[in-house]
Amino acid sequence: MSKPLKVAIAGLGNVGIGVVKILEEHKELIADRAGREIAISAVSARSKDQDRGVDLSPYQWVDNAAEMADLDDVDIVVELIGGEDGIAYELSKNSLKNGKALVTANKAMVAHHGALLADMAQDAGVVLRYEAAVAGGIPIIKSIGEGLAANKLSQVYGIMNGTTNYMLTHMESRGLTYDEILAEVQELGYLEADPALDLDGIDAAHKLAILSSVAFGTKTDFESVYIEGIRNIESVDIEYGKELGYRIKLLGITKYEDGNLSQRVHPVMIDRELPIASVMDGFNAIVVDGDYIDRTFYNGRGAGEGPTASAVVADLIDIARGHSGPAFFKPASKLIEAAPVSINRRKGAYYVRLHVEDHAGVIADITAALKHTNVSVETMLQKGTEKDGTVYVVIVTHETTEVAMKDAINRIKEVSSVIETPQSIRIEKL
């Protein structure tokens, strides 16, 4: 058996400690599968004295994580600090410059700087791996980059944020309002340190930008992802969606054709009979469409100490086995700079919810606004009069354009009987 592979771990939060636990508890199993021992040589975190539930005394402690890139007794740096820039990015760049392999779970950093890091890894002749950055326990990076390598892929979509999926699940199953479920996930500690990353779709967008590059061989382009979160989803939308045969999910959807790349994250209404519609709670699910495999479906836990740490260690085992190859499964110099496709080019149906005063002529005013923008109605529901003399009007449109729908919404806002900003949700035929 070859000499041990020496690993430095930067960041000892839940995932970092999970990596330590797996490497210690499965030491012999991992050595057998990897063909060599994988040994921790150094660790680093903000506080040395914090009780993390594991004994870290056998390992060299490094106060400044950035210095791990300079350690002689390290073959691989595992970056689990997080954040697109700062010390995580500095450590990652310096590790690659110094000829050390890099394993990271940092989705924000890879989404923003993946192409540059891939280029640096290629120049240094070392490996960059990031399986843990997307979908936790689902080996989606390897599945796309290796298992589906013979295919020309056209579309990848999925549930990429477990927290928002949990929220939408329990708004439906328990009849909770958005504010009620938000308070619950805050108490449970499910939200990122910056809640906007989850609630506004940014976390899912980071993952989508990475999957686009893996699937289509394009340069990571987070800035071109259209992003919309779930803050405007109300329990009435879930109720009416169910009545119409739909379920609301926050999906990331990426498509590539003829050099054009469409990347978008937003709530959608999808057919309740679709397999992905049945993915509940904190689970993630990814669907990949290709020319020879047609469609493949992946489902599993998308976050947490165990699943994410498992993905990190899987990358370490791959490197120990001698697996190399470019970070995005094609030479960094050949990654395509795709032309971004605006959300305004989307075509499809829409769900629209209006809260209006219940009096004669209001429906005529609304349909006039739709007619002016050439948006036609497939279904219209008017829910019973409320005590305050207002009602909800729910519309499902025929296929139209994003531009036309935005124009229609703006015109509807001007109708005097409409008392709240209209809510619209895209309907996806997947």
Could you list the active site residues?
Answer: 207
Terminal CA-to-CA distance of the chain, rounded, Å?
A: 49
Which ranges in 101-158 belong to alpha helices (H)? 107-124, 140-142
Taking CA atoms, 110 is separated from 117, 143, 213, 226, 410, in Å, by 8, 18, 10, 18, 37
Residue 199 structure tokens: 């609630």
Relative to beta strand 101-104, strand 2-10 is unpaired
Backbone φ and ψ for 420, nearest 5 degrees, come out as -135, 155
Residue whose C-alpha is closest to residue 240's, from 364, 37, 380: 380
Let me know: does 153 contact 216? Beta carbons within 8 Å.
yes
CA pair distance 313, 274, nearest whole angstrom: 33
- Number of C-alpha atoms within 13 angstroms, CB side, residue 44? 21
Cβ–Cβ under 8 Å, residues 382 and 391: yes
C-alpha to C-alpha distances, 144 to 110, 150, 174, 248, 351, nearest whole angstrom: 17, 10, 36, 26, 33
What 3-state class would DSSP assign to 106?
Answer: coil
d(CA 111, CA 104): 12
- The tokens for 392 are 């909800």
Helix (H, G, I), strand (E, B) or coil at 6: strand
Checking DSSP bridges between strand 390-397 and strand 60-61, what pairing results, if any?
Answer: unpaired
Task: Compute the distance between CA of residue 188 and CA of residue 190 in angstroms, rounded to an integer.
Answer: 6
Half-sphere exposure of 154 (CA within 13 A, CB side): 9
Alpha carbon distance 295, 273 (integer Å): 16
Question: What is d(CA 347, CA 428) in angstroms, rounded to the nearest whole number?
Answer: 10
Are the C-beta atoms of 230 and 196 separated by less than 8 Å? no
Cα 219-222-224 angle, rounded to 5 deg: 95
